[in-house]
Amino acid sequence: MTEPIVADATTASTALGATDAIAPDDRSAGALTAADRAYAATKESIIRGDLASGALLSEAVIAGELGISRTPVHEAFLRLAAEGLLTLESRRGAVVRPLSPSEADDVLEMREAVEAACAARIIASDRVDEVLPTLRSLLEEQRAAVAADDLDRFIAADDGLHAAVVAGARNPVASQFATLLHDRQQRMRNLLIRVKAGQMAAAFDEHAALVAAIEARDAGEYAAVLRRHVDRNRGVL
């Protein structure tokens, strides 16, 4: 029934560098493979903006920093390229994909499409009551964040709320897409402009309207509100 609403497990790794000397066998720390660590670390660096757009990075360097060989790093780069975060140039290196304004539009548009479809399915399959408690709780969390003027907390709740809608649809394909899009959006958020605190109140109102639409079982209304919501974000970026 209740799935873990976890916002994202992707940003749970340590940053790059800082690999203190040589760690010959850190597999004891967890079941993560070396490739996973390389993937998570590099992705984190890209999303957080530590790696500038257009930066040319090589497998050997990352491998050295993580104390692993080039092979798992190579695999990580392939994954990141598939996700649109890197561009692999054969025998030259991997460049951190510069993001264009149009790309921001593209990502937001897809996010809107996926989430609207998820909301529609929740409503159509009569699972509104399942997700509503989570949504309300996150909405309350957001209200508190607004009151406390805590932007990070607000963003966390924001991510959680949108993620909860997608998770509630129980569509693994949608979840995968949403995760992909979320990562890229987060990168844009970090890289371009941090959402101004003044936007919080408006965003909160829209979120409340979204939850209300779900509560009213009105998929069309949800889509319409979501459209406005995304459009406003578009303007900010």
Q: For binding to its own copies (CB under 8 A), which residues are involved?
A: 71, 74-75, 78-79, 82, 84, 103, 105-107, 109-110, 112-114, 116-117, 121, 171-174, 176-177, 181
How remote is the C-alpha of 135 from its chain's centroid? 18
**Residue 74 touches DNA, criterion: CB under 7 A:** yes
Rounded to whole angstroms, the Cα distance separating 17 from 105 reads: 32
Helix axes 101-124, 128-148, angle to 10 degrees: 140
CB of 133 to its own copies, least distance (A): 24
Residue 107 binding partner per list its own copies, DNA, none, with a CB distance cut-off of 5 to 8 Å that depends on partner kind = its own copies
CB of 125 to its own copies, least distance (A): 10
Binds DNA (CB under 7 A): choice among 2, 15, 27, 197: 27
Binds DNA (CB under 7 A): choice among 61, 212, 224, 236: 61
Closest CB to DNA among 56 and 197?
56
**Residue 90 touches DNA, criterion: CB under 7 A:** yes
Residue 226 binding partner per list DNA, its own copies, none, with a CB distance cut-off of 5 to 8 Å that depends on partner kind = none
User: What is the Rg, in whole angstroms, of the alpha carbon atoms belonging to the chain?
Assistant: 19
Taking alpha carbons only, the member of 51, 40, 37, 48 closest to residue 87 is 51
* CA distances in angstroms from 81 to 73, 93, 94, 165, 213, listed in the order given: 12, 12, 9, 27, 37
Q: Which residues bind DNA (CB under 7 A)?
A: 27, 33-36, 57-61, 63, 67-72, 74-75, 77, 88, 90-94
